[in-house]
Amino acid sequence: MSHDTYELKAEAREQVGKGSARAVRRNGKVPAVIYGDKQPPLAIALNYKDVY
């Protein structure tokens, strides 16, 4: 079984919700949320070209 690992540059987002996610998309980024490891969710923005 092969496992690939990818590294993406992300920036933390201060605001969450539909309106702020739309603003992130208008700036050419992809809104995302990191969940897990018994930590609070972390809202981030990824560069569109890095994701697609």
pLDDT digits (tens, 9 = 90+) for 13-24: 999 999 999 999
First to last CA, the chain: 24
Domains in the chain, CATH or no CATH each: 10-51 (2.40.240.10)
pTM of the model: 0.81
Reduce the DSSP state of residue 10 to 3 states and report it.
strand
Question: 17: left (phi > 0), else alpha (psi -120 to 50), else beta?
Answer: left
**What amino acid is encoded at 9 in this protein?**
K
pLDDT band at 52, cuts 50/70/90? confident
